[in-house]
Structure 1
Amino acid sequence: MEFLIPAAMAQTQSAPAPEANPMITLIMFGGLFVFMYLFIIRPQRKRQKEHQELVSSLNKGDEIVLNSGLLGKITKVDGDYIVVDAGNNIELKFQKGSVHAVLPKGTIKAI
């Protein structure tokens, strides 16, 4: 059976393993945290703040685009909800958070 599996030869004396410096590990974790903060957390907070300002500035008569792609004009602002005129006197009620962007006046008529 030894012709299929060669016999393992154990070393008689092993070299000591180099010790890892804990300071290097801490610096690596700190660098990873800084990287994640600068490239992931900070931009996301900035986008979230901009969207919150957009939602809080919604007024009656604004032309908007919703996350679903629906274009409409705000006819009523009611707390956390808005009523949107989608055309042909069709009014739909949405949460303010579903607004993606506010369009310049007259955009819907131009389409």
Structure 2
Amino acid sequence: MFTIILQAQQGNPYMQFIFFGAIILVFYFFMIRPQQKKAKDAKKFQEEIGKGDYVVTIGGAHGRIAEIEDDTFILEVEKGGRIKFSKTAINMEATKAASGKK
């Protein structure tokens, strides 16, 4: 029984730290960093929109921005219909696809 335990402990103890460090780096570069970049791009997009821009909300409503307040906007839909939304309700990918921007 003790020989099995001794065999498992014969490896370099620093290799375990290197392995865990590599796992942390992989998580950072493939999961955390892209999410931070996507959030930063979405925030920048929300700050750049202005009156008259065509947007699509996360609920699927399409229309032009009629008014902008601090963190809300009024979306003008078909024939003068107006709906108030939060700026966080704008879907960046769908808006870019609908307006033809990249």
Give yes or no for TM over 0.5.
yes
Matched, 1:34 2:41: no
Equivalent residue runs for 1:40-51 within 5 Å: 40-51=31-42
Q: Deviations over 1:45-73 (max 9, x none)?
A: 11111101100011100000111111111
Distance 1:100 1:24, change over 3 A: same
Q: TM-score, normalised by structure 1?
A: 0.75
Query: Are positions 1:75 and 2:63 aligned together?
Result: no
Counterpart for residue 81 of structure 2: 90
Report the Cα distance in structure 2 between the residues aligned to 1:36 and 1:43, rounded to whole angstroms: 10
The structure number with the bigger radius of gyration is: 1
Q: Higher helix share goes to which structure? A: 2
Q: Distance in 1 between matches of 2:2 and 2:99?
A: 75
Q: Which runs of 5+ in 2 are unaligned?
A: none
Name the % identity. Answer: 26
Unpaired segments ≥5 residues, structure 1: 1-12, 106-111
Give the CA RMSD over aligned residues. Answer: 1.9
Give TM-score, length-normalised by structure 2: 0.81
